[in-house]
Amino acid sequence: MEEPDAVLFDIDGTLISTGGAGARSWRYAFDELHGIPADIGEFTDAGMTDPTVARLTFKAAVGHDPSPRELATVMAAYLDRLPYEVEHSEKYRVLDGAEDVLRRLGREGVLLGITSGAVEAAAHIKLSRAGFNRFFPFGGYGSDSEDRIELTRCALTRGGRLIGQELDPKRCFVVGDTPKDIDAGHGAGCLAIGTATGHYSADELRAAGADHVMSSLREPFPEI
């Protein structure tokens, strides 16, 4: 039994909580551009990618599917606002055990990456307040694909390029707090680790097919 070759982490609800900074940034973007107080909570808690959230929210708020230019404009407004909201979020917090496990795994030679529905810029903004960008030299993001499985595969490909050797998905973990994270891990051929640190309970993550469930990142990871 040994450590995995790589561990890919989701961000929101797994490593950190932004305390609603993302939702406030989307709301600001739609209000600024369209004068509409858009409710994005229905989408952001479900593990959907940022482009999907933007598209569905736009249609619900504005009344039609966004054109490519409209989507780009609302995404730009969201990203422009996000650093302010993250920095000033009173409820932003690093989840229990996150920093310790990232440092430990890295020192043990486990490659660390991100797999997140956030577009790449948003992922780095959310991680920056915690100082966590230093742990992640690569990742797969919502800007790579609206399909969580495909963006996880992108992360594996980039990790392989980084070390000069293709990663074997069977020797990699995907860690996340939603059933979509579990599906993404399995779809990419990885072991899927559920963390009951977000909106889903340990039982719900087991029911979603998680190979292992942790109540927090303080608990030991399984071995290969």
Q: pLDDT tens digit string along 40-95?
A: 776 655 678 999 999 999 998 899 999 999 999 999 999 999 999 999 999 999 99
Q: pLDDT tens digit string along 95-133?
A: 999 999 999 999 999 999 999 999 999 999 999 999 999
What letter does residue 12 receive in the DSSP assignment?
B
Q: pLDDT tens digit string along 156-169?
A: 999 999 999 999 99
State the chain's mean pLDDT as an integer: 95
Residue 90 in tokens: 């009173």
Q: Which range of residues forms the domain containing residue 156?
A: 6-18+92-214
Residue 112 shares a structural domain with residue 125: yes
**pLDDT at residue 19 in the model:** 95
Q: Last residue of some domain: 88, 123, 140? A: 88
**pLDDT at residue 149 in the model:** 97
Residue 77 shares a structural domain with residue 182: no
| Type of residue numbered 51 | P
Contacts by residues 31-37 (CB-CB < 8 Å, ≥ 24 positions apart):
32/77, 32/81, 33/73, 33/74, 33/77, 34/61, 34/62, 36/61, 36/62
Residue 76 shares a structural domain with residue 37: yes
Bridge-based pairing state of the strands 16-17 and 93-94: antiparallel
CATH classification at residue 204: 3.40.50.1000
106 assigned to some structural domain: yes
Residue 81 shares a structural domain with residue 180: no
Closest CA to 117 of 159, 72, 150, 81: 150
